[in-house]
Structure 1
Amino acid sequence: MKTTVILLLMWVAFLAPLGRAQEVSSNITELTTKNIDFAMDLYRLIASHHDDNIFFSPLCMSTAFTILAMGAQGTTRQQILKGLRLDTLEQDERPELLAELFHELQANITQDGGLQLDQGTAMFVHLQFEVLKAFSAQIQKYFNADSFNVDFSNSKASMATINEYIKHKTGDKVTDMISKIDPLTQLMVVNTIFFQGKWELPFIAKSTTNQRFYVDKYNIVQVPMMFNDNNFYMARDTNLKIRILKLPYLGGAAMLIVLPEKTEDYTSIDDHINAEVFQGWLKQLKKMRMEVNLPRFKMEQSYEMHKILPDLGITDIFTSRANLSQISTVLGLQVSEVLHKAVIEVDETGTTAAATTTVGIVAKSMPFRFIVDRPFFVFIYHEVTNTILFMGRVIDPTKK
């Protein structure tokens, strides 16, 4: 018997945030720190396979595998939690603690109601397969999971049902996610995250012009370069020789652009980024007037995570050694594949809300310029908790 887990991260479009002051518990702060370190671990593994664009949702991945950990025991559970960097948070006397923390984190992210972020979990269960009631109740309680019965032996019908669910949960942005289903599949877990952000300070559409983007020393492409002139937050990391720019969204999220200096190769910082470094960047941000040039780009990235996660020590769950006895009493359950798909679309638009743009009267001499005309890193994060929702790197913005 096989269990298939599908993870996907969805779409980012339009762009703009500043959150209200909220109390974040020390446990949530620690969870966020662990999630950032997991995000960097996963990024480095993906980056080690190629030099192309990268985009994924670490929150989507960690949420889905925390759900699997709730259904696992023994070495299988230990490997998952260690791979996610969450093993130090676990308490034997409180086995539901991690689920409670993820539930609290989700509440923190969405409590303002202004952030358009929808994270969903669903179980698709084979007609003759019985999921333990305790497991169903837990993922419903902590992750608000939907549950559906499907006939996996009818691959075409079950595939259509699941793809329609994914399409609906992602605002029609991800279609035909599943291209094949093993008839032996007994359970499929789908985790989706959909984000749509509007810039707090929209770019000026009529100012977008085609400009050069230097992929490397030998490859130059033309990209539609957006323009904005406003008060933004920026920082420098002199050790890593990078500049950091924060572009806020309405509703409490922000995009962080990390741009290596022209003399630096973008791979030179890969081994140095961790939670401490990332959180340090956020603390160093200072507000200043500047001109920003950022490419308009769109990416769609897919990953077979079952081929990547074993390098984080998560191995047994993909083999006959898997212990998923908290999900079902059926013997032989194992995860056959983990699919993750991420889509991002960045353009000038917010809503037609030019009135929200801050206008200041300043003496304009030579403004500071932040020109993103070479490979850069992108992080989309929730400002109050510092939770990374999405991250990646853009090597060539003309390639989807």
Structure 2
Amino acid sequence: MKSALYLCFLLLGLQVQSEHRSNLNNEQQEQKILHSTEDHSQAEGENSAHVKIAPSNADFAFSFYKQVREEAGNKNIFFSPLSISTAFAMVSLGARTNTLSQLHKGLAFNLTEMEQQEIHQGFQHVLQLLNDPHREVQLSMGNALFIDDRLKLLQKFLDDVTNFYYSEAVSSNFENSAEAIKEINNHIETKTHGKIVGLLKNLDADTVMVLVNYIFFKGYWEKPFNNLATRDDDFLLDAKNSVKVKMMHQNKPFNIHRDEKLSCWVVEIPYKGNAAALFILPDEGTMKQVEDALLKETVSNWMQSLEQRKIYLDLPKFSISSSYDVKSLFEKMGVTEVFSDQADLSGVAENTLLKISKAIHKAMVDVSENGTEAAAVTVIEMVPLLASFPPPPHIRFNRPFLMVILDKTTHSILFMGKIVNPAAKED
């Protein structure tokens, strides 16, 4: 029996709130919105494949979060479920027998409800929509295969990863591992706009292919925070400990929901360009209760229950990153065979037995005041002066909270996280 050769996966997620933005005049802005709306309507009419895979991707996101939570302890959590599911869906193109069944189950796909072809068409459409150049959010997602000169891929696998996942195929010499590592790290650095540098430290001696998936998102708040209102404040780590943070402040209408059953506040902060961040603030002592209830039905219920209301909002600035051993996490979720000598990836390459030796994911997030250039739009707000109205609630994100970044065009969860210490930079 031939010895197994290795696939290495690098999965990257990046979400950035920028501190500045180049000027766009109103006419340009209107044109961009018009194009985005037209493209979205056209896409919805032509192909709803991305809608079909959205529930499974959401199920995967929450089950993966709960697995991460078990190991994270009191650390920040931040990852891109869409990056991870896209990469492993690509692998499933070459998987067979029980290896394929485990991948489908781990990714929450039920083949009695959709065909394999529909899964890949769904990801194809997500990639098309996310990479639409007319969108107002700066959003890009892509894949690359770095393939050793000695490995002969099956033409069907190469065609499928290119057609469905728009993957670049790069010929590499893995016998010179230092050069291969440098080439892959340079690719990652370029695609993440210099935010993730030197990620890959080493390669297994038998590595013959490295798959890289990246997602880069740079969003601008529809209603930016005024940096003059940002002040030093305490963030409560627990009952006894706190850290100093830069706390941003707004006093405006937001879509909010008070979930009395789960004892938490939900605040939606929209980005320009059909994306939004949900910030979930559990009451003291109820974080686990809220986390346990994280399901697509829960988030769907929150979204449907949002109502616009003026609030006093405090939200910390933060910049954090997290890294994960996806192989270890997947094995705990029951996806084991693809990493073992029993792996059946016979649909990938000719006359070569393959297994995945390594799968790592790194994501970072940077949240700050600027959602957009303040001068781009002027909003005049009028509120009734009626004493019978209850005072606006003061929602202070000054203790651990959850964050979900949604792309409304593709119905995708781009990123998920738990911020337990905004002052902790690194994972």
Alpha-carbon distance in 2 for matches of 1:357, 1:200: 11
Alignment of 1:198-347 (within 5 A): 198-262=220-284, 264-347=285-368
AA matched with 1:239: K
Alpha-carbon distance in 1 for matches of 2:50, 2:112: 11
Alpha-carbon distance in 2 for matches of 1:148, 1:109: 23
Mean Cα displacement is larger for which, 291-300 or 382-391?
Answer: 382-391
Alignment of 1:1-150 (within 5 A): 1-14=5-18, 20=37, 22=41, 23=44, 27-49=49-71, 50-88=73-111, 95-111=116-132, 113-150=135-172
Alpha-carbon distance in 1 for matches of 2:116, 2:52: 17
Query: What is the TM-score when the length of structure 1 is the normalising length?
Result: 0.94
Deviation at 1:127, TM superposition (A): 1.0
Q: Structure 2 stretches of 5 or more lacking a match?
A: 22-32
Alpha-carbon distance in 2 for matches of 1:95, 1:258: 35
Alpha-carbon distance in 2 for matches of 1:354, 1:210: 26
AA matched with 2:90: I
* DSSP 3-state at the match of 1:196: strand
* DSSP 3-state at the match of 1:45: helix
Deviations 1:151-191 (A, max 9, x none): 11111100000000000000110000101112310111100
State whether residues 10 and 194 of structure 1, in contact with CA within 8 Å, keep that contact through their aligned partners in structure 2: yes
Deviation at 1:266, TM superposition (A): 1.1
| CA 1:89–1:387: 2 relative to 1, 3 Å | farther
State whether residues 51 and 122 of structure 2, in contact with CA within 8 Å, keep that contact through their aligned partners in structure 1: no
Alpha-carbon distance in 1 for matches of 2:111, 2:295: 17
| CA 1:110–1:180: 2 relative to 1, 3 Å | closer
Mean Cα displacement is larger for which, 136-145 or 383-392?
Answer: 383-392
State whether residues 37 and 85 of structure 1, in contact with CA within 8 Å, keep that contact through their aligned partners in structure 2: yes
* DSSP 3-state at the match of 2:122: helix
| CA 1:107–1:89: 2 relative to 1, 3 Å | farther
Identity within the alignment, %: 30
Alpha-carbon distance in 1 for matches of 2:210, 2:76: 28
AA matched with 1:391: M
State whether residues 201 and 358 of structure 1, in contact with CA within 8 Å, keep that contact through their aligned partners in structure 2: no
2:395 is aligned to: 370
Query: What is the TM-score when the length of structure 2 is the normalising length?
Result: 0.88
Deviation at 1:325, TM superposition (A): 0.7
Q: Which runs of 4+ in 1 moved over 6 A?
A: none
2:189 is aligned to: 167
Deviation at 1:89, TM superposition (A): 6.0
| Counterpart pick for 1:156 among 163, 178, 183 | 178
| Counterpart pick for 2:421 among 381, 396, 399 | 396
Deviation at 1:383, TM superposition (A): 1.9
State whether residues 266 and 279 of structure 2, in contact with CA within 8 Å, keep that contact through their aligned partners in structure 1: yes
Q: What do you get for the CA RMSD once the two structures are aligned?
A: 2.1
| Counterpart pick for 2:408 among 383, 386, 393 | 383
Mean Cα displacement is larger for which, 266-275 or 296-305?
Answer: 266-275
Deviation at 1:382, TM superposition (A): 0.8
| CA 1:211–1:357: 2 relative to 1, 3 Å | farther
Alpha-carbon distance in 2 for matches of 1:150, 1:34: 34
Deviation at 1:143, TM superposition (A): 1.1
Alpha-carbon distance in 1 for matches of 2:191, 2:378: 31
Alpha-carbon distance in 2 for matches of 1:190, 1:183: 18
Deviations 1:310-365 (A, max 9, x none): 11111001010001111112333100000100010000023433342533022578
State whether residues 149 and 171 of structure 2, in contact with CA within 8 Å, keep that contact through their aligned partners in structure 1: yes
State whether residues 74 and 323 of structure 1, in contact with CA within 8 Å, keep that contact through their aligned partners in structure 2: yes
AA matched with 1:395: V
Deviation at 1:26, TM superposition (A): 6.0
| CA 1:89–1:204: 2 relative to 1, 3 Å | farther
1:195 is aligned to: 217
